[in-house]
């Protein structure tokens, strides 16, 4: 099916009816996902600087309220409006697949994420501009396709090619019917800027360099442990739980955490299982490229390049992949 670009705002109005609609746009000069307020979304050019992760997994989230004493009670906070994420790209769609696997499919189900995910419809779009640090193709993705999105748009010049990948997407397209016409558009041909030598074979070999102290010293030396890489990463999902207590009652909330912080692995007794930055960054890279794959069947890096672009110490996970591909080469 095709959608004339001049009708895009009408489609956005349909999507926003009774639902929260998130689109790429500017917030305080930073391209990121924001609530749609009638403006044209920024679908072209490079991807958003910040990922759409916080729409499904907020930076800070209230979990439950409590009261202590003889009338003790706990009440889970259930406040999940229907929402649409419009205009996200293949790399960010894969990052949602990673979070789905962690929070819903493999083991314990996180009710907060699961409820929010169940109420979210995703309209993805073909990538229209790779940034200088993009390497999603090396991570096995096609920037011109997002098969797990409910609806996928490809750019056909003055129109979009529109296809539904799920029943939910097909039901949504019925609401768009008066603006859709028959026909396809050719597949977009965006390609990544970088091509590090990542492969499933390398992923399996990476744990073999765990004890290569010289390599880890060299790779991790410049890191200043700021945590930026975790916070701009679409797949980092660690969180910390805290309480705001007002004497006998309060609220428990969780907020994003980073494995780069020195107290991340501090246990209640004071012992720290990863006291050095070498251990922490080694864990980050191996979790992204090897450990996650062992459990979930995919890497926890989608090649978006955001951590490379934003690291103040110029650490580069694509360079790391190439370096280890040489070291691990038989």
Positions in the binding site for ligand SF4 (CB under 6 A) = 223-229, 232-235, 260, 288, 301-307, 311-313, 315, 317
Using the minimum distance from each CB to ligand SF4, give the nearer residue, 3 or 321.
Answer: 321
Q: Which is nearer to ligand SF4, 126 or 233 (CB)?
A: 233
47: DSSP letter: P
Distance CA 169, CA 159 (A): 19
CB of 275 to ligand SF4, least distance (A): 16
Residue with tokens 């996650």: 292
Counting Cβ atoms within 10 Å, is residue 18 exposed (0-12), middle (13-18) or buried (19+)? exposed
CB of 273: closest distance to ligand SF4 in angstroms?
18
When the beta carbons of 131 and 161 are compared against ligand SF4, the nearer one is 131
At residue 202's C-alpha, the angle toward residues 200 and 203, to 5°, is: 60
Closer to ligand SF4 at the Cβ: 120 or 235?
A: 235
**In the chain, which residue ranges form alpha helices assigned H by DSSP?**
8-16, 53-56, 90-100, 111-118, 167-175, 200-205, 213-220, 228-232, 277-286, 292-296, 306-310, 317-327
- What SS3 class is residue 169? helix
Phi and psi of 151, rounded to 5°?
A: -135, 145
Compare residues 139 and 162 and give the one whose CB is closer to ligand SF4.
139
- Give the H/E segment covering residue 64: strand 60-67
* Minimum gap (Å) between residue 228 Cβ and ligand SF4: 4
116 or 288: CB nearest ligand SF4:
288
CA-CA distance, 125 to 203, in Å (whole number)?
A: 29
Cβ neighbours around 30 below 10 Å, total = 11
Cα-Cα end-to-end distance for the chain: 49
Residue 319 token pair: 């360079």
Q: Tell me the closest approach of the beta carbon of residue 195 to ligand SF4, in angstroms.
A: 13
Where is 75: in which H helix or E strand?
A: strand 73-76
Indicate the residue among 139 and 252 with the shorter CB distance to ligand SF4: 139
The CB-of-317 to ligand SF4 minimum distance in angstroms stands at 5
> In the complex, what is the shortest distance from the CB of residue 91 to ligand SF4, in angstroms, rounded to a whole number?
7
Question: Residue 159 and residue 306: Cα distance in Å, rounded?
Answer: 29
In the bound state with ligand SF4, the residue whose beta carbon lies nearer, of 58 and 227, is 227
Instruction: Report in angstroms how near the CB of residue 88 gets to ligand SF4 at its nearest.
Output: 14
**Cβ at position 301, least distance to ligand SF4 in Å:** 3
């Amino acid at each position: 099916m095709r959608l004339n670009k001049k009708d895009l705002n009408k489609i956005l109005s349909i999507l926003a009816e009774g639902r929260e609609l998130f689109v790429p746009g500017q917030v305080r000069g930073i391209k990121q996902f924001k609530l749609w307020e009638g403006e044209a979304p920024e679908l072209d050019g490079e991807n958003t600087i910040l990922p759409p992760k916080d729409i499904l997994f907020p930076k800070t989230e209230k979990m439950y309220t409590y009261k202590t004493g003889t009338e003790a009670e706990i009440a889970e906070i259930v406040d999940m409006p229907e929402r649409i994420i419009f205009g996200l790209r293949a790399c960010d769609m894969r990052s949602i697949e990673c979070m789905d696997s962690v929070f819903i499919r493999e083991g314990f189900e996180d009710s907060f994420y699961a409820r929010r995910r169940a109420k979210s419809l995703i309209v993805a779009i073909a990538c229209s501009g790779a940034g200088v640090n993009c390497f999603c193709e090396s991570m096995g993705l096609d920037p011109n396709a997002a098969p797990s999105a409910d609806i996928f748009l490809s750019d056909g010049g003055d129109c979009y090619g529109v296809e539904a990948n799920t029943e939910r997407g097909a039901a949504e397209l019925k609401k768009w019917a008066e603006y859709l016409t028959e026909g396809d558009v050719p597949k977009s041909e965006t390609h990544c800027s970088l091509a590090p030598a990542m492969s499933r074979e390398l992923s399996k070999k990476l744990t073999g360099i765990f004890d290569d102290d010289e390599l880890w010293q060299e790779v991790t030396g410049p890191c200043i442990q700021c945590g930026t890489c975790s916070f701009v990463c679409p797949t980092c999902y660690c969180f910390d739980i805290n309480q705001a207590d007002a004497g006998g009652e309060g609220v428990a909330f969780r907020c994003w955490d980073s494995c780069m912080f020195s107290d991340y692995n501090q246990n209640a007794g004071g012992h720290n299982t990863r006291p050095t930055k070498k251990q922490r960054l080694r864990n980050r890279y191996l979790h992204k490229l090897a450990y996650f794959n062992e459990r979930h069947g995919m890497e926890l890096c989608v090649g978006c390049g955001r951590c490379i672009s934003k690291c103040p110490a110029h650490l580069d996970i694509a360079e790391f992949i190439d370096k280890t591909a040489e070291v691990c080469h038989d």
